[in-house]
Amino acid sequence: MTFEEAKDRFIHTWGTLATQWGINRSMAQLHAVLLISPEPMSTEDVMEQLQISRGNASMNLRDLMDWGLIYKQLKVGERREFFIAEKDIWKVARQVAKERRRREITPVVDVLNELKAIPADTPESQEFHRVMEGLSNVVGFADNTLNAVIEAEENWLMSQFLKVFR
């Protein structure tokens, strides 16, 4: 396999994997391009590499900055904006976990807490409360797990994985 084939395969695979996490394919592929690029890239560079429109590139670059996965980098004498990805994969994993928690888990926790507060004074409301409590436990477990990833240091996280395989 040539380098170009390997690069294309990685970009495609990263895009496919991200769709499993609820992230759009273009955003993930753009992240992959910046992740493996040794130099900061302009919007035009990204558009050319992925064969996407300026609007698609701009929107996804903005989203990746919002997620904290890429940064703008200025080049002296250049009017164009350049972008570079966070290269520390552990930081990337923690940042993705942090964003997923903020966007997905926290709103569900808030709703479940509100729903659990209803009076349980009928058989139906008691069953509803029981189900909400069970859902709250599962979501709480997911929240605690993501929180552990967010707060974890690389060495601690690796040691936890190694314990599983011993």
With 0.95 as the threshold, say if the pTM is over it: no
Q: What is the mean pLDDT of the chain?
A: 89
Gap between the Cα atoms of 122 and 129, Å rounded: 10
Q: State the DSSP code for 166.
A: -
In this prediction, residue 85 carries a pLDDT of: 96
Helix axes 106-116, 123-151, angle to 10 degrees: 150
CB 15 within 8 A of CB 29: yes
SS3 content of the chain, % helix, strand, coil (to 5): 70, 5, 20
- pLDDT per residue over 60-97, tens digit each? 999 999 999 999 998 889 889 999 999 998 888 888 88
Gap between the Cα atoms of 158 and 164, Å rounded: 10
